[in-house]
Structure 1
Amino acid sequence: MRGLNGYDQKARSVQEIGCRVLWTLALNADTTKTSIGKQGGIRVILAAMQRHNRVNQSDAAVQASCLGALWSLSLLESNAMWIALRGGIDLIISAMLRHNSGTDLDGELQRVGCLLLTSLSREGLTKSAGIRTMLMRQGGISVLLRAMRRHNSGSHLSAMLQQAGCTAIANLAKDSKSRQLCLAEDGGIQVVLEALQKHSGAECLLVQREGCKALAHIAQNIYNSISIGKQGGVMAVLAVMRKFGSASDSDVSLQESACLALSNLAQTYENRASIMESDGLDLVLAAMEAGRNRSILGLDADLQLAACGVLSRLAKDSENANVIAERGGIEVVLLVLSKYKASNFVIRDCGRAVLKELAKKCDDEIVIRSCRA
């Protein structure tokens, strides 16, 4: 940092290399991140971004290095707060707006910018809701979607950018009606669906998982749920579940995101009908069976909770409730309850809600008595 401050501060090469060194150093232990932050590293990086902000390849290289350094530093909460509350968001968004051509360098800048937006919008930060609102108001959603549209070729670099972008969308959309509506109005639904379509190979599992998570959080709003259904979102999520249906740990995590998306999409009758007509019920039950046999209980618990949410919503229609009973849904839920009733009260209550809904809507008296019991 003495070097960055001591040399001619207009020397782009010094600024670029210095920020890349900070980027690399900050990927190490949290103590290193803390030390860089306390010694003024973030202030130096932001100053470099302000100074080298022209639209040319030399300044793009400086900006990319600065964004990378900020991203690795932001993985520590105190640094993330410093970046967000000291003008960093505006500089990040300006860099992404200014350098969004089709060059490889600009593609790398956009990828790292998306990673940084993901980090700043993550759960667990102090004032995280306020930071997410700042990102929206300062144009973060627009610049994020623009980057995802421009860099969606299906390449490896594109896949990394799309994964980061979908994660940022999921973070921004969660539990916020205003941000959910903003994402939908700016075309975020279509952007996520295109990411799922163009990055559907086995090597792109993380894009699929984060894309489903993004749809799940956008669909918390019922109007968005309707819109996602009309744009083919139900079919897209079910296609993910079919393709990644094994019981590896990563696939269990993906199935959980897909079930969470289906649960929120199933708020509407039309989407529930689409799920049932496209064998979505069988996919959900299969995911529950596969997840239940996993040794890592944390992964399975999240999946079972999301899947029970789907069943509970599907069972609101009498016809669906009868099909769930016929396909063995009651037995699957009972097995989940037997595994978690003493250790996870949230799953216990959600599983009981499924059985209660089935008892109300099923025609078969034996099924009704079984659910009530």
Structure 2
Amino acid sequence: MKPEDRIDERADAPALLVRVPLQAVRGRGAASRIAHRFARDTRDRLEGADDGWPGDAHEADSEDAQAAPPATEVLHETARSALCRNDSPDIPFIYSVNPYRGCEHGCIYCYARPTHSYLNLSPGLDFETRIVAKTNIAAVLRRELARPGHVPSALSLGSATDCYQPVERTLRLTRGLIAVLRDARHPFGLITKSSGVERDIDLLAPLAERRLVAVYVTLTTLDAELARRLEPRAAAPHRRLRTIATLAAAGIPVGVSVAPQIPFLNEDMEQVLDAAYAAGARSAFYSVLRLPWELDALFREWLEVHYPQRAARIMARVQDLHGISAEARREGKSYTGGFATRMHGSGHWGDLLRQRFALACRRLGLNRTPLELDYSQFRPALARGQGCLF
């Protein structure tokens, strides 16, 4: 029995199979608050099923509920650390800094969704409606960069959740981090789907002149309708292209991420690269869809809501990309986290994606000149607010 099917077990009624389809939530990526993996009690049903209790999720079908989708709540947190060290060999940076947990953009494919489980929150709707802001993150980063033992290495802003999601407009935590990195002359890269990065060009452009920053804009597809479903509160594709052009015009090195690649869904990789290059991007990278932990069930749920006719075919190809055996497929497994293949996939479909990407980049001239940031300028004394003679 599928999770959205249930049996009417009232004593005065015959056994009936009642199907209550899950509804898309306006302006959100996930359609439910799926239980996280640490929850003690879970129920095998979709959020849209009606258990007959007041306030049940089934009320989302009413006009009032549709008119009032879940509001965003911002939770404030005092961070104990800022720099997160990465030891994965398939990730090109050593440190990451994330001023927020959760992301209002609501990208259904986001590999960071399962991290909300550590907060006892759902990787589904909670991830995109309950945002944690690390209000002291800039001060903590300044302190960590000033430590005598800190060695400047590749650092990424916004690797887990978008550092320019809507709440950044008022909290300005990302801008504070950029100011600290500027003061310390510490090189960094940042990645975003938001046009909000344009606000900080006044900080980024001087850093670019000194080879201290690079910006990457994620452009999953040029299909506006698909983007609205995949990434409901991120900037529209045409707006992201304008952001690439604006950054390039300001002299800031800008690249494009065509990630994730989802079989039979966003199949316009070449067109995206063409448009990004025309806008001013000169580097590019991609990855395939990854479905760790609760993200597997969430993505399947999303497919059933938006693309039910293609759901089985898409999932079969995702399993092919990650080399899932027939036995593992029968157990419902869709992903393995091996460093060798998790980013670009394996087998015939993984090879095809690699060839398509390489040919398009070669034709356009993307990645022709590697971008090298200058780590020799870092000065911990500047991070402490002291003067420096060099």
**TM-score using structure 1 length:** 0.31
**TM-score using structure 2 length:** 0.30
Q: Which has the higher strand share?
A: 2
Structure scoring higher RCO (CA < 8 A, sep ≥ 6) equals 2
